Chain A
Amino acid sequence: MARESFDKEIQFLRMLVLTSGAFSRQQFAERLGISVHTFDKTIRRLKDVVSSMHQHLPQEQRKELSETIRFSYYDSADPLLLFLFRAKSVKESESQRISLLLGAMNEQALTAMELLDMYCGSLSPGLPLPDEKTIRSDLKYLEEVGVIKRESGPRPYRYRIQDELVRSLSDEELMDLYDFVDVMANTQVPSVQGYLLRDGLKKHLLRNQARQHAVEPFLYKYHYYSRILDEAHLFTLLHAIRQRRKVHFLYFSPKSEQSYVARSTNPLFERGTEGKTEKTLPLKIVYDHQYGRWYLLSYGREGIRKYRMEGITQIEEDESVNEAWYEEKKHELAEKIRYSWLIDTGRPVTVRARFYNPEDSEPNFVKERVRLQGQWGQIVMEDEHSFLYEITVNGTTEIKPWLRSFGSSCEVLEPARLRREMIAEWKEIQAYYESV
């Protein structure tokens, strides 16, 4: 069976989050490159996942999907898009069996035969009985993902759930662990595994009498909320990098209107798509904090290539390459991006800008922000009213928005071209508001 792909769901959720409310069903489906029928089906499927994750909410709290994943700051620090990673399909009977087995191993260490007996005993009559092989393969899977552990001792082997993490900690310690996981998942990347762990710990705390109030003490301001969607590709790409393997995928440039297309078995239907098949060798992954976006930097026929993670669909691994050559390419890339504000590999230029201190305010928030966000740039001169900031960057395109975000507190001195561009742009902005 082909591996289940979540491209459609990812593109779908991203669009829903970014354009919340902008499009009709028809427009939405068109932009995704799917039929309205598939659109409805996808929405139904995602709703199922969401409602089973929030099954304990009273009926009136179960909102529409678009409402549910609307960003609402003071409600909760729960990452609502996390449910995407709960969407892997599993047969009803299998989900029942696995949860029952885990429940049994929660209390004691058991052998495969004991589990089989227990399981058969708990089934309602008339249902087909599982065989020993099924149970053994379940155990193998659960051991592989690290959920259960085989106890040491002679055959027959006994298995028990691997929950030292909560079992050996006191309530106080569990609280500290929960907080740490919450903070790190929210402030570091990657975060999805952290959010999954947070979810498990939270439920565990709530089961043990903690109140809702106790598990949500933290808020995080100005998060890029859809960033966790792209972590879906992260581990596939990391695997390829570790194995020095090429990958191929269907790429939708963010500038194209469409962002997904149904996988078609008939090549005749592929003509109409805007996506482009790319084959490339992944070298590095970049997370851009300025927008909360992910990039893949790779090596292709034309040299260094850059892809936005959000445009990558139908990704698959390909052949591996020679180690020495791979290291060489990696080194080449490292040299090229040394001065990238984000990912620009253009010619390095030195940018000099004067920043003006706020007139009557202490602390100096301008300087504080330059120090925080100015990356490897240096403050080279200071007087009472202003300071000079200098940085060497590849091209000026990527740093420009940041400089502009300081408004009149920043004056670009060099290069002259950037200075002229800034002046022209401020003139345009002024014209927007002059009539006000």
Chain B
Amino acid sequence: MNLFEKIFNHQIISRLEDSGTFMVTSHERAWLKTMLDHPAAADAFTPGTLDKLRSILEPDQVMDTSRHLIEKARSQEQQVYHPLLRPLRRHIMNKTGIRLTYQIKSGRVNTDHSGCPYKLEYSMVKREWYLLWYHTRHHAFMRTRLKNIHSVAAEPMEPSMAEGILKKLGKKLDSRRSEAVIEIIRDYNEELSRILYAFSSFEKNVEYDTENDTYRVRVSLSADELEYLLSKLRFLGKRVRVMEGDYLKRRMLEASTKALDRYGVISEGEELSS
């Protein structure tokens, strides 16, 4: 299998698009057939559709990639599909309102709260699905784990109102972004590639100071991403240093101080016992 097939050429693809022709190669079918073996397929399709797909793909090959590929340091896959994905994605598509009953952090259950669904978000770190939605009465942007949703029903909503909310949400998400600047300590420039990989899941720009041979990463992120950035900063440890972003600096100081406290107390105890 060669991924650089002639048939995938951009000119061919755009010409086919013009003539309205759907084209699929055996590579793609083999991939799909392999994925249908994943348990997630059972939640993604009705049993009838799944049978149909399996019979269409019957003559195709299955990829043997998994025999030669090992995935390391992967979060345990809790959930690839969630049964609520199918109904929710249809509500999103139809721009209808929804009525949700869901559990919040304290364990309390909010019953029949009205809102407008925006997108479904999967966290690669937590390996789980969230619904991003707008809470009509609280005028709030919400992120709710699908596993905390007890029930959901469609509720009529004026199309103009839905449009308005979705537009507002888009703007709001943009305006909640802030910036942080992180410097890569020069002694670790050799590890540049690794460090930049670690930041590659953020929206960012890199600045290079030729004179001092120093790299700085300017990360643009929303408030709810700060925790994840902090875990990355601790992950990289002394290789990086926050230059701009008071909250991040304070949290890094706090983390190191508290960590040293932990070690301090216990290391004395150890010395006594050994």
Binding site for B on A (CB under 8 A): 4, 6, 17-23, 27, 49, 52-53, 55, 70-74, 83, 85-90, 92, 94-96, 98-100, 102-103, 106, 141-142, 145-147, 161-166, 168-169, 173, 175-177, 179-181, 183-184, 186-190, 192-194, 196-197, 199-200, 203-204, 207, 213-214, 216-226, 231-232, 234-236, 238-239, 241-242, 254-255, 284-293, 310, 337, 340-343, 356, 362, 371-373, 375, 401-402, 404-408, 411, 413, 419, 422-423, 425-430, 432-434, 436
Contact = CB atoms under 8 A, between A and B. Distances in A.
A356 B61 CA distance: 49
B73 A375 contact: yes
Interface residues of B, number: 128
B44 A179 contact: yes
A192 B3 contact: yes
A423 B270 CA distance: 14
B207 A86 contact: no
Nearest to B250: A436
11 contacts: A90-B12, A180-B44, A190-B63, A217-B88, A221-B122, A222-B201, A234-B65, A242-B68, A285-B69, A362-B105, A372-B76
Contacts of A232: 3-4
B68 A183 contact: no
B200 A87 contact: no
A179 B194 CA distance: 32
Contacts of B256: 426-427, 429-430, 433
Count chain B CB atoms within 10 A of each CB in A141, A231, A405 and give the residue with the most: A405
Contacts of A96: 15
B10 A53 contact: yes
Contact of B263 (A166, A180, A419): A419
Interface of B: 1-17, 19-32, 35, 38, 40-41, 44-46, 49, 52-53, 56-57, 60, 63-65, 68-76, 78, 80-81, 85-86, 88-90, 92-93, 95, 105, 107, 119-127, 132, 170, 173-174, 190-191, 193-194, 196-198, 200-208, 210, 215, 228, 230-232, 234-238, 241-242, 246, 249-250, 252-263, 266-267
B86 A176 contact: yes
The 8 closest A-B pairs by CB, nearest first: A146-B26, A408-B258, A99-B15, A193-B31, A430-B256, A407-B255, A22-B206, A433-B253
A395 B173 CA distance: 43
Nearest to B207: A22
A88 B2 CA distance: 11
B76 A284 contact: no
Count chain B CB atoms within 10 A of each CB in A52, A88, A204, A310 and give the residue with the most: A88
B253 A222 contact: no
A20 B10 contact: no
Given A190-B31, A372-B126, A288 B72 contact: yes
A142 to B, nearest CB: 7
A96 B19 CA distance: 12
A343 B30 CA distance: 29
B213 to A, nearest CB: 11
Nearest to A141: B6
A53 B8 CA distance: 11
Contacts of B257: 408, 430
A371 B76 contact: yes
Contact of A19 (B26, B206, B261): B206
B7 A145 contact: yes
DSSP class of B's interface residues: helix, strand, loop or mixed?
Answer: helix
B238 A223 contact: no
B121 A219 contact: yes
Given A85-B3, A88-B9, A180 B45 contact: yes
Contacts of B41: 180
Contacts of A164: 56
Contacts of A434: 253
Contacts of B263: 411, 419, 422-423, 426
B71 A218 contact: no
B251 to A, nearest CB: 9
B19 A147 contact: no
Contact of A213 (B16, B93, B255): B93
Given A18-B196, A188-B38, A408 B261 contact: yes
Contacts of B215: 19, 22
A99 B235 contact: no
Count chain B CB atoms within 10 A of each CB in A173, A217, A236, A242 and give the residue with the most: A217
A53 B14 contact: yes
A194 B35 contact: yes
Nearest to B248: A433
B86 A52 contact: no
A184 B125 CA distance: 16
A286 B70 contact: yes
Given A180-B35, A426-B256, A373 B122 contact: no
B6 A52 contact: no
Given A90-B11, A180-B44, A72 B206 contact: no
Contacts of A86: 8-10, 13
Given A53-B13, A147-B25, A176-B49, A20 B125 contact: no
Contact of B200 (A17, A200, A219): A17
Given A4-B4, A408-B259, A433-B253, A145 B15 contact: no
B44 A176 contact: yes
Nearest to B228: A222
Nearest to B246: A436
Contact of A99 (B21, B122, B197, B237): B21
A203 B17 contact: yes
A21 B207 contact: yes
Contacts of B261: 408
A287 B26 contact: no
A423 B261 CA distance: 10
Contacts of B196: 18-19
B176 to A, nearest CB: 11
A200 B255 CA distance: 48
Given A88-B5, A189-B69, A436-B253, A184 B38 contact: yes
Contacts of B6: 88, 90, 94, 98, 141
Nearest to A55: B14
